[in-house]
Amino acid sequence: MIKHIPNILTIIRFIFIPFIIVSIALNNYITAIILFTLSSITDVLDGFIARHFNAISDFGKLMDPLADKCTQLSILLTLALKGIIPVWIFVILILKELIMISGASFLYGKNLVVSSKWYGKLTTVLIYLAIILSCLGKVYDLKLIDVYVYYIAVFFAMFSLVSYFNYFYKNGYLPNKEEIKKSIKNKS
């Protein structure tokens, strides 16, 4: 039974998304903070249980990061549409994710296990912190430091993107110039 708990927690995170979005849309920022915090806790528990009880599954490997990205990006889009954060923050972060997804699809089927790195985890924590600060700023009608936390998160998002591509290139998963030239010659 315990082996299914991480996947159940991942599914719960997907279920939280529309409730968080509606709470923000209706200016119920405290409710949004509570739901978002509960969602974040399920993310931590999901990973801990999966690793600690050897309950890692193919479903979890795919759906856990998807739940994280769907949660982050849908909340960021809602905050941007409401004018709470600059739209460019959402645009940069979604473009980064689309590039990462494209890269992952290119690497699909190769004998490769990609574990998250510290800079990816830091980016996630910073985005989560910035979202909480944005909601708190609306509750208390304050100008908080959320925008600066977003700046740092965007920096680390770009850093992680470059770092992952550098890792894949150095380990031979991405073609170098000679391989590209050879491939073009063979097609001619």
Q: How far apart are CA 59 and CA 107, in angstroms?
A: 18
Taking only the tens place, the pLDDT of each residue in 99-157 is: 888 877 666 666 555 567 788 889 999 999 999 999 999 999 877 789 999 999 999 99
Taking only the tens place, the pLDDT of each residue in 64-113 is: 989 999 999 999 999 999 999 999 999 999 999 998 888 776 666 665 55
What are the domain boundaries of the chain? Answer: 2-87+116-176
Q: How far apart are CA 42 and CA 165, in angstroms?
A: 29
Q: Which residue has the tokens 């985005």?
A: 127
Report yes or no on whether pTM surpasses 0.75.
yes
Q: What is the token pair recorded at 180?
A: 């590209």
17 neighbors 74 (Cβ within 8 angstroms):
yes
